[in-house]
Amino acid sequence: MIIYVPCDSAALAVGADEVALAVQAEADRRGLAIELRRNSSRGLFWLEPLVEVVTPAGRIAFGPVAEEDVASLFDAAWGASHPLHLGRPEDMPFLQKQERLTFARMGITRPLSLADYEAHEGFAGLRKALQLSPAEVVQQVLDSGLRGRGGAAFPAGIKWKTVAAAQAAQKYIVCNADEGDSGTYSDRMTMEGDPFMLIEGMAIAAVATGATQGYVYIRSEYPHAVATMRSAIELATAAGFLGEQMLGSAHSFHLHVRMAAGAYVCGEETAMLESLEGKRGIVRAKPPLPALSGLFGKPTVINNVITLASVPIILARGAAFYRNYGVGRSHGTLPIQLAGNILHGGLVEKAFGVTLRELMYDFGGGSASGRPIKAVQVGGPLGAYVPESQWDIPLDYEAYAAVGAVVGHGGIVVHDDRANMARLARYAMEFCAIESCGKCTPCRIGSTRGVEVIDRIRDGENRPQQVQLLRDLCDTMVHGSLCAMGGMTPFPVLSALNHYPQDFGLPV
C-alpha cells in the first residue's frame, strides 16, 4: 500500500508530520507493509493534511486528517465508508474546474524526486531549449506572451532579449523569491513542492541569454523553501541538469540560493540586487536598467518564481499552446491565491479572464464567517480594494488598470462586512512608513503624513479639507516615488476612500 502525506509548510502547520508518524506506527502495529511518500500540496488548504492512498481506481483522498483519525482509517481499510473519504482528488470540483499548467504536478509528485519530475514532463522544456539557438528560445518566450507574474507584468521575452543582446563577459539570472505580499504563497508552494520546475526555468533563461551564474533570493520566513531548493540544486547538478555543460551541451549554468534579510522592500528588484551584493536593501534609481547593469553591474535577468516556472511548459509544448490561454494581452494562466475571510482558501490556477465573483464563490465558497463579503484586496498590500460593482470584471492586466486596480502577484484577500475600510487604509500607510527603505521623500515622509491625515479624518477634524489633503498627498506619492513601494501605497487608500466613504465618516 502506498500512502501520500504532504510535506508542504501549510500541511506541516496543521500536523502533517504527526499524521505521517501515526500512519507508519499504526501500520507497524498491524504488521502491514506500507510505503509512505511525502508529496507536495495540491493547494486545498482547508483539507490539509490531505492524505491519499493508491488504489486500483487511482489515488483516493481523505481529509483533513488528524493524528487521532489514523487508526479508524486503517479500520475502514481506507474505504469510502470513512467520514473523511473525499474520493479521487481530480474529481473534486475545486480542482476539476482549474486549468493547471504551471501547477500540474502539485500534490502529485514528491518535491525532491527527479524520477517523479521527469515522469511528468520534467526537463522536456530544457531539452528542447538545448536543441534551439538562444535567439529561438527568446522568440518562443516572446511569442508566448508571457508577462512578469511578480506584479509589473512586463513582457518576459523583451527582458530576456535585452540581456541576450548585451555584450558582457558575465551575465546573471536572478529569481526574486522574496514573496512578501499578504495572502500570497504560490512562490513558496513552487519552491517547496516543485523545485525542479523553477530550476528548469532558470536554466532555460541561462541558455537564452548566455548567463552562467544564477541566484534564487528567498525570503527568510521560508526556511522549508530554502532547504528544499538547496537540496534540489544539489540533485540537479549531480544529475547534469545544472553545472558545467548541462546535459552534455555547450551551455553551463551554476545556481545558488541566498536567504533574504527580512525587508519587504527587497521584493523590489533593485533593492534585492543591493541585498544580494551584501549591502543595505535600498532602491536604485533607473536608468540604468538591471537588464544592462544589474547584479554586480552586469546584465541580469530578474524574474519572479512564477514567471520562470511558467517557462518550461512554454518550451516543451510551444509558444502557441500557452498563448491560447487568457484574454486580451494577458496570455496564459495565473496561479491565484485565495486568502483572508474565505471558506475554501487555496490555490486556483486559471487562465486570465476569470472573475473575482467566480473565484470567491465558485471556488472559495463565500466567506468563512458566513457573512456578506464587503471588499477584496487584489495584488497584495499595495493593491486596491475592489468593491462588489467590479467583481465581474475579467481578471486581466489592462481591465484592472482601467479601474485603478492591479492584478499583482495574484493574491486575493477577502474581507466580510465587518471590515472598517478607513482602518485598512490607515494600515496601508502605516505599512509603507514601516517598510519604506527611506531613499525618496514621497514614500518616507508621505506615508507618515498619510497616517496622520487619515487619523484626523477618522476623528472628524475638518474632514473636507483633510480629504483633499489626503488626495494631494497620494498624488505626490504616486508620481514622485522612486519605486512601487511609495507609488502604489495610495492604491488601497484611495480605493477605500472612493468606494467606502461611509467608513471615513463621509456621506455616501
φ/ψ of 83, rounded to 5, equals -65, -20
Task: Please state, in angstroms and rounded to a whole number, the distance separating the CA atoms of residues 41 and 185.
Answer: 12
Tell me, what's the pLDDT at 152? 82
Tell me, what's the pLDDT at 59? 98
Tell me, what's the pLDDT at 79? 96
Calculate ∠ Cα 112-41-219, nearest 5°: 70
Task: Please state, in angstroms and rounded to a whole number, the distance separating the CA atoms of residues 4 and 65.
Answer: 12
Tell me, what's the pLDDT at 182? 85
Query: Are 309 and 153 a contacting pair, CB within 8 Å?
Result: no
Task: Please state, in angstroms and rounded to a whole number, the distance separating the CA atoms of residues 367 and 378.
Answer: 16
Mean pLDDT split into 10-residue runs, the chain, 508 residues: 97 98 98 97 98 97 98 97 97 97 98 98 98 98 95 93 98 96 94 98 98 97 97 98 97 97 91 96 94 98 98 98 96 97 98 98 98 96 95 96 93 97 96 94 96 97 96 97 94 97 91
Tell me, what's the pLDDT at 344? 98
Tell me, what's the pLDDT at 180? 87
Calculate ∠ Cα 9-338-393, nearest 5°: 155
Q: Is residue 197 packed enough to be buried (19+ CB in 10 Å), middle (13-18) or exposed (0-12)? A: buried
Tell me, what's the pLDDT at 261? 83
Q: Cell 473519504 belongs to which residue?
A: 85
Task: Please give the full DSSP string across 393-457, using - where no structure is assigned.
Answer: SB--HHHHHHTT---TTSEEEEEETT--HHHHHHHHHHHHHHH--S-SHHHHHHHHHHHHHHHHH
Q: Where are the alpha helices (DSSP H) in 61-169?
A: 70-75, 93-96, 114-119, 124-129, 134-144, 156-165
